[in-house]
A and B are shown apart, each in its own frame.
Chain A
Amino acid sequence: MVGYERKNKEQLLKELEKMRQKIVRLEKLESRHKELERALRESKKRYKFLIDNSKDIILILSKRGKILFANRSALVNYGYSKEEIFGQSITRFLSKDCIRKALHALAQEFLGRPQPPLEVRVKTKTGEIRYLRVARGSTSIIENGKFIGVMINAYDITESKQAEEALKKSEKHFKELWDNAPVAYHTLNTGGIITSVNQTEADMLGYTPREMVGKSIFEFILREQRAEAKKRFQHKISGENILRSEDRIYVRKDGSEIHVIIDDVLERDSSGKVIGIRTTMVDITHQKQMEEELREKEMTYRALFEHANDAVFLLNLEGIHIAANRKAAEMLGYTTEELIGKSYRDIVATHEIDKAKEKLEGILKSQNFPTYERIFRRKDGTEFPVEINVSVIYYLENKPFLIQRIVRDISERKRAEEALKASLKEKEVLLREIHHRVKNNMQVISSLINLQSRYVQDEKALEIFKKSRERIRSMALIHEKLYLSKNLAQIDFGEYIEGLTIHLLHSSGVNPSSIKVDINVRDIFLDINTAIPCGLIINELVSNSLKHAFSRRKEGKVRIDMHSVRAQFTLIVSDNGDGFPEHLDFQKTQSLGMQLVNDLVKQLSGSIKLQRGNGTTFKIKFRSLE
């Protein structure tokens, strides 16, 4: 108070003024402070708004990787609530294969080592996997001087990732298409250097694409075709040549050649300038080989057709010639051109046209085409015989398409046949004449014996003469049968035996009603060399039976059986007479007849057996001598 008491009014007023000014300043300071507080609140509000509405994902992670904060994008886009995220480890939401690298990156960030952007896969609440790209670097959060964690900024790249994968897939697909395309592709720059080549082309040529790219395409073309190929390439590049398919021969890595057909397309840049050529290439080697084979076949068939020794005609179903070979033209006196268009009627003898028409109609209805003969007419009207071999050429669905006639002039053959027939006839006549002559000579011999016998009184001698005549007769009868046979080579032996036995019965003087001859010989045909000895054997054995077997009997039977099995003949001559004398060995008898029989059996290379009992049976086996 003392101080105040001592201060005057002026001093007090001054102090008061100072106090007032201080108050004003404090008021201003307070106002400023309030303003700052408001501004801070506004800023906080805006910041929160920004974080909440950011499309990026903003997370604050603790040192241990726990989520301290997640903005709305992080919650909404992944379907989690704050409660489900906050306080949880970040690893819970990461795809397993990302956890390790994510934790590593996070640790580095904590150590203040900024990491490059990191891509991780995150599981949404529904289990969907989404891709996140974590931005490079993080912000440390420090409150009250204490490190709380780091703020991580990430953004969802799922769509772009999917697009990228789709693109990769598409590219892979395209590459596969490119490489495995059924046609070979390559692209060339304007210098003819290969800028790309697909696997198909590389495989086709035996290289890898890497071996081909960068090389001149002309290195792969057959040396002889290179100059021409280069010339054409230049023309194509310059736009002078219209691009069209071309055949080309390429050479494989192993040196073998390959025929290809190429198609080019010019490649241009955005300004329209030609920057190269894109070429497709198709391997036509097989096709070329087929064409070559077909051409060779065609040439072969053409040569066969043209140079055939027989005339060949091709007719349509109306019987009009559509082709004829040189021989056909020569045969008929036409040119091949003249023959084409002519009807079958024009080359057939007039009197055979109806038959030819009937034949043609029959052929089209039949599947069987036997060879037949016809008379043809030449251009000059002369006629000649031909042999025709016809066939129908079928097209799709077995429809008759063409008629082929292979025709042979058989004039010479016919003449030869006629000559042969005449010659055969002549020989036949001659042979018959010989048989006649032989039989006539036998008659002469028989007559000589007969004449001579007139001068013989001795009964035994007369009997010998008689037997000789009978033997001659048995041989003469063979010639008679041969003369009358159809083929002059074999006789019906059954007929012969009948004729022979009738005569033997007559000449033996036995009563035909008391002694029967039973003949059982059917379908036995013998040649002359077998028939004559066989006939003589029967002559002797039957004569013996007739003479000796029934001397003590009034009645009897002689039986002749003959049969053959696989060219083995068995002849059985038997009687039911008195029996061959027991004391006689038929193979050592003095009888000329039995000696002849044994000799003739040997001549036939046969065997003979005698069976005694209930008469006499001779069984002879032999084979035909021819």
Chain B
Amino acid sequence: MINLKILIVEDESIVARDIQNMLEKLGYGESFIAFSGKEAIKKARTNLPDLVLMDIKLKKDLDGIETAEQIRSCSNIPIIYISALSDEETLKRARKTHPFYFISKPIEEIDLKTNIDAACLNMISKG
């Protein structure tokens, strides 16, 4: 199993905890949670995650796309967006941050596994 540091950015604590449990169950190693955009940027800088699972709709200061932009501005950490619903305009904005994939809520383990594994393979192939 690949050992990854995964940053979960989700303002719904229950959902964040659920995702963390799934990752743990899937055996991806360490994961940590940020409940806001600013916290996510900070944790991305300090914890240097291998992958970020980013909720697009964050309620506080920054939304998921803005947060991703800032994280991506200083690193190449792959981003997988998680969203309950996204309109075409939001998706267009999100695509500009070159995310690895979109996962739709409610999240299922299988979706997480498939996308994270694909992201890992992508990272490995790029060196």
Contact = CB atoms under 8 A, between A and B. Distances in A.
Interface of A: 432, 435-436, 439-440, 442-444, 446-448, 450-451, 454, 469, 472-473, 476, 479-480, 483-484, 503, 506-507
Contact of A440 (B17, B18, B19, B105): B105
B74 interface: no
B106 A480 contact: no
Contact of B17 (A447, A483, A503): A447
A568 to B, nearest CB: 31
Given A440-B84, A442-B106, 15 more contacts: A439-B105, A440-B15, A443-B84, A444-B15, A447-B12, A447-B15, A447-B17, A450-B18, A451-B14, A451-B18, A480-B85, A484-B87, A506-B108, A507-B108, A507-B110
Contacts of A435: 85
Nearest to B114: A506
A480 B103 CA distance: 13
Contacts of B19: 447
B122 interface: no
Contact of B57 (A436, A450, A469, A507): A436
A476 B22 CA distance: 20
B84 A484 contact: no
A483 B14 contact: no
Interface string B10-26: 00101101110110000
A447 B18 contact: yes
Contacts of B120: none
B107 interface: yes
A436 B59 CA distance: 12
B104 interface: yes
Nearest to B15: A447
Contacts of B110: 506-507
A432 B89 CA distance: 13
Nearest to A437: B84
A476 B17 CA distance: 20
Interface of B: 12, 14-15, 17-19, 21-22, 57, 84-85, 87, 104-108, 110
B21 A480 contact: no
B21 A451 contact: yes
A621 to B, nearest CB: 31
A440 B85 CA distance: 8
B108 A503 contact: yes
19 contacts: A432-B87, A435-B85, A436-B84, A442-B105, A442-B106, A447-B15, A447-B17, A448-B18, A450-B18, A450-B22, A451-B14, A469-B106, A472-B106, A473-B106, A473-B108, A476-B106, A483-B85, A503-B108, A506-B108
Contacts of A442: 105-106
A165 B14 CA distance: 132
Nearest to A503: B108
A614 B103 CA distance: 38
B73 to A, nearest CB: 27
B9 to A, nearest CB: 15
Nearest to B55: A440
Contact of A450 (B21, B84, B85, B105): B21
B94 to A, nearest CB: 15
Contacts of A484: 85, 87
B12 A440 contact: yes
A443 B87 contact: no
Contacts of B87: 432, 483-484
Q: Give the one of B21, B85, B104, B106 with max A CB within 10 A.
A: B106
B78 to A, nearest CB: 22
Contacts of B105: 439-440, 442-443, 476
Nearest to B19: A447
A220 B71 CA distance: 111
A469 B106 CA distance: 9
B7 to A, nearest CB: 18
A137 B127 CA distance: 167
A451 B84 contact: no
Contacts of A476: 84, 105-106
A480 B17 contact: no
B21 A439 contact: no
Contacts of B21: 450-451, 454
Contact of A446 (B57, B85, B106): B106
List of 4 A-B pairs having minimum Cβ-Cβ separation, nearest first? A447-B18, A446-B106, A443-B105, A483-B85
A443 B15 contact: yes
Nearest to A442: B106
B85 A443 contact: no
Contacts of A479: 85
Nearest to A439: B84
Q: Give the one of B14, B57, B85 with max A CB within 10 A.
A: B85
Contacts of B15: 440, 443-444, 447
Contacts of B85: 432, 435-436, 439, 479-480, 483-484
A442 B21 CA distance: 18
A442 B15 CA distance: 10
Nearest to B110: A506
Contacts of A454: 21
A480 B104 CA distance: 9
B48 to A, nearest CB: 27
Contacts of B104: 480
A436 B90 CA distance: 13
A522 B15 CA distance: 35
A439 B21 CA distance: 21
Nearest to B105: A443
Contacts of A480: 84-85, 104
Nearest to A429: B87
B28 to A, nearest CB: 16
B102 to A, nearest CB: 12
Nearest to B82: A443
A432 B57 CA distance: 13
Contacts of B57: 436, 440
